A and B are shown apart, each in its own frame.
Chain A
Amino acid sequence: MIRRLGAQLRQLVAILRDRRSFEREIDAELEFHLQARADQLQSTTVDRAEALRQARIELGMLELHCDQIRRSRGLHWPDWISADLRLAWRSLRATPVYTLTAVVVLAAPLAIGLLLHGLYAAYSDHSPPFDRVERWVHLYGDNMDDRQRPRFSAAQARLLVEHPPSGVDGLYSARLLTLPLATERVLRGIGVAVSSNYFDLTGIPAARGRVYSANESDRRGVVLSQSGWTRFFQRREDVLGQPLSIAGQPFTVIGVAGRDFRGSNEIGAHYWMLSADHQALWPEDQAIMSTTEVGGFLASVGSTAALTQALGQRAEALNRLHPDQPRLSAIGVESARGFLRESDRRELRLALVPIAALVLLMLLIAAANLTNLVLARFSARRHDMALRAALGATRGRLFAQLLTECALLGTAAATFAWIATLVLLRPLHELIFSFMAELGFDPIQVHGGAASLPLALTMALLATVAFGALPSWLATRIWSRRAQAEPQAGLKGVPRSRLRGALMVVQLAASVFLVVVAAMIGGVASQTQSTPLGYDPNLLVSVDSGTNPQALRQALLRSPHVREIAATSTPPLMGEPRRREVLANQSSHGLQLRHVDLHWFATLGMAPLRGRLFNAADTDSQSTVVLSRSAAERLWPGVDPLGKTLELTAANESVLPRRLTVVGVVADIATGFLIRGAEQPMLYLPARLGDAELQTLLLSLSDASPSVLAELYAVAVAVDPLGDSRPQRLSEALRAQQLPLRIASYVGASLGWIALAISCLGLYGLVSFAVAQRRREIGVRVALGARSINVIVEVMRAAVRHIALGIAIGLPAAYALTVLISHFTDLLQLVDLQAFVLAPALLGLIAAVAAWLPARQSARIPPSEALRE
């Protein structure tokens, strides 16, 4: 059966490929029939022309027979589709404004969806250029509490790599390193310490020089990636054999990796070093857990299940290496794909759910809008359809014709969206990750989005069905039901204003929801932009205090560009200071806590508002505290806090609570997440450089240009080669905080504005259509003396009802979302006046204008013309 169908399909394809010769053959066969019959008839009649005439009469309608022959070969389907497509094309070309509107309305949300998918796929689906990538696997450890640990300690990884189980062609280890790398200048380098079989197993060749093999001569040799070659050696031709220093240790460049390979992590590697070198130079690092990933390639007959079984007994051997660490219960294997581990992929998907929901909402708006447009269009074509039905077209054929028109629109929109994705994906990715690049991290390269074409077409098909099926069904139902009994019914049509109104309300409600959400995100983003910091972040730089903070401070102070250096606990603007419970004034309060040295306030340029700042005696006694103004007001509202005491609850049971005396009050500054605003009550506790609490140095500079920062980086590396002590401007940290929200607000605002534009376009179309439908009625009203304003009000009444209903449904939905979000985080204060009052008011106003424009036209209808129509 299947073989027969396949053969018939092949025949059909062959005929379609050479349709002309098939048609010629039919003609020739029927012509031969006519001539043969005429020959036969001529033997009884004398006249050839008469014989041919007779033969034609006997054979009947030639075109009908040709049609039946085509049908017998299954050609009627392609013919119908082709005819429908031609008809749809002509029809759409005749109404360019409608066509353009429909394509733009649908293409906008499709493009946003495809861009999101393209970004996700770039990380999740596009794998590094490994040989045998389809057999690539990752190993992970299972803890006793069933939590996965995607990485091992370097020692555990080495054990697995040196003794691979059966079922794999080999295992490799890879450990991401962020270390200062010095050539002529010091730069942050993203490196990977790999086992010596890494390049052999992955099949990555060298573009220059060589990559690692088991050869001992590779020790202290570095393989650069293309980006590393550019970053550290400006693509110099003589890069091979060049010396470079990694964390103060001498290395030599032995090669540059080929295939534009950048490692298997989402952050591109600048270089690779041997894990044996890493082990020899930093032996104490080998026992740190969860640092090193282990991967490999299944043998040609292997499977992940068989490999998992083969690894069954290895967990115990790994546990023996670190008896004091949490034990592994088993070692698991997962198929590797893309640049993300499975757990990361799950998290990314979870993070994309809300954005995907917003895009779906956009698609819903677009589909509702197009349904409305198509309903109006098909209603206007009922005469045409009645004529077709009268000529014998079935309801199915009419339905298919109408749906083909919608499918053509959907395909055009998908094509536009796909082209937009091809053009915009890379710039969008670079915009999002431009900041990472500034910090020395190379995100992966995103190419095109060509693979999203099938998705684009699928989305177009679904959208076509979503917006085209209902109007097509309704349009054909009108005719089919009444055609038999009362043919004139098809010419009358049935007003479907209620359905169109309901669709309008749906899209307005969805638009209100999107606009309010966009306004909320915009509100939070602008809060982070406008929060006063209380200091100038451009001339302040933070550096990790490293293993020898005193020496680092002394070395940095020698620079003429350093004005002052303070020490504190967490780097400002790079995390939230710790919170502790404070007992004061007979009540308990949760306040933020920051340990600072004596130079902190001077470095930030802060003077006391009340009392004094810390002195050396405070550092010794550890019994004083300085409050921020909001902390003072929280603990002792309206009372002078100087001299008051408070009790700081213990951080854990082994430490006693501390009683502290307030010696000063300073202004509020913002050093945590700006999303919460500046007014976070803060306690400052005195500490001394070298105390465990003080992990960050804060430098006040006279010049924070890149060359000065590079100079300071070199000084820091000289003191502490192993530390990741890259000086970071607080303005960069501020940008890092603001960027995600700024991008979210751009995305939110784009979605909101597009939704609003689509809805207003729909409302405009709906009111225009209503006015066109009611021309005669309006003409009568005007003829009977109705005033223009009354006519406009009458036409606007329905539109205003739709807008009001849309707002009434959309606002509670948006509020429900804020309630939902507040269950997950207390970071966001989302309910604000701008989002819930101004945004819907603006939307209502714009929508009302969109309705008013066509309504105004209604008052200008000349009664004499309207009544004649």
Chain B
Amino acid sequence: MAHNVVPGTLELLALKAISLGAEHGFGVLQRIQMCSGELLRVEQGALYPALHRLEAQGLVSTRWGVTENRRKAKYYELTAAGAERLRQEHSQWRSLVEAMDRVLAAQPQQASR
């Protein structure tokens, strides 16, 4: 069963997908879904504003290229600032997940003072 992306994490996911190699918007969408084992479902319309936000912040750069099907597409590439942001956000995400796991795995004796 596919899940919607956790609110606020779409830009992190897009950054990661782009870090794997320059890709157009549709390709980024495919990468996220494929890497999640088709468990994550990305709202197609929400992806493009997120990509433009990343571009506006200078985290990705863009260029127009031609796909294998000979169609013109806009390709996104990670910038140095984008790589640094990805590293920071990834690290924050790990801490968050770890904290969540700890809370969810907590036993009754851990809750007593």
Query: Do the beta carbons of B49 and A25 come within 8 Å of each other?
Result: no
Query: Do the beta carbons of A39 and B69 come within 8 Å of each other?
Result: yes
Asked if B48 lies at the interface with its beta carbon under 8 angstroms from chain A, I say yes
Classify chain A: how many residues form its interface, as a range: 20 to 34
A8-B57, A32-B74, A72-B56 known; A37 vs B26 contact (CB < 8 Å)? yes
Q: Which of A53-77 contact B (CB under 8 A)?
A: 58-61, 64-65, 68-69, 71-74
- A11: B residues at CB distance < 8 A: 56
From B24, B48, B67, B72, A69 is in contact (CB under 8 Å) with B48
- B50: A residues at CB distance < 8 A: 72
From A68, A71, A73, B45 is in contact (CB under 8 Å) with A68
A60-B45, A68-B45 known; A28 vs B74 contact (CB < 8 Å)? yes
Whole-angstrom CA separation of A71 from B45 in the bound complex: 14
B13-55 contact mask (Cβ, 8 Å, vs A): 1 or 0: 0000000000011100000000000000001111011101100
- A33: B residues at CB distance < 8 A: 25-26, 44, 48
Asked if B103 lies at the interface with its beta carbon under 8 angstroms from chain A, I say no
Asked if A439 lies at the interface with its beta carbon under 8 angstroms from chain B, I say no
Nearest-neighbour CB distance to chain B for A18, whole angstroms, equals: 15
Asked if A4 lies at the interface with its beta carbon under 8 angstroms from chain B, I say yes
Whole-angstrom CA separation of A65 from B72 in the bound complex: 20
Nearest-neighbour CB distance to chain B for A687, whole angstroms, equals: 91
From B46, B53, B72, A32 is in contact (CB under 8 Å) with B72
Query: Do the beta carbons of B52 and A4 come within 8 Å of each other?
Result: no
Q: Which of B61-77 contact A (CB under 8 A)?
A: 67, 69, 71-74
Nearest-neighbour CB distance to chain A for B53, whole angstroms, equals: 4
Query: Do the beta carbons of A69 and B52 come within 8 Å of each other?
Result: yes
Asked if A494 lies at the interface with its beta carbon under 8 angstroms from chain B, I say no
Interface residues of A, dominant DSSP: helix
A28-B74, A36-B26, A39-B69 known; A73 vs B52 contact (CB < 8 Å)? yes
- B53: A residues at CB distance < 8 A: 72
Query: Do the beta carbons of A25 and B56 come within 8 Å of each other?
Result: no
Query: Do the beta carbons of A72 and B44 come within 8 Å of each other?
Result: no
Query: Do the beta carbons of A29 and B48 come within 8 Å of each other?
Result: yes
Query: Do the beta carbons of A32 and B71 come within 8 Å of each other?
Result: yes
Query: Do the beta carbons of B52 and A35 come within 8 Å of each other?
Result: no
Whole-angstrom CA separation of A28 from B25 in the bound complex: 12
Query: Do the beta carbons of B45 and A72 come within 8 Å of each other?
Result: no
- B44: A residues at CB distance < 8 A: 33, 37, 58-60
Query: Do the beta carbons of A72 and B71 come within 8 Å of each other?
Result: no
From B24, B49, B73, B74, A68 is in contact (CB under 8 Å) with B49
Q: List 26 A-B contacts (CB under 8 A).
A: A4-B58, A8-B56, A8-B57, A25-B74, A26-B48, A28-B72, A29-B25, A29-B48, A29-B74, A32-B24, A32-B26, A32-B73, A32-B74, A33-B25, A36-B24, A36-B26, A36-B67, A37-B44, A60-B43, A68-B46, A68-B49, A69-B52, A72-B49, A72-B50, A72-B56, A73-B52
Closest 3 CB pairs of A and B: A68-B49, A72-B49, A36-B26
Measuring CB to CB, which residues of chain B are less than 8 angstroms from any residue of chain A?
24-26, 43-46, 48-50, 52-53, 56-58, 67, 69, 71-74
Measuring CB to CB, which residues of chain A are less than 8 angstroms from any residue of chain B?
4, 7-8, 11, 25-26, 28-30, 32-33, 35-37, 39, 58-61, 64-65, 68-69, 71-74
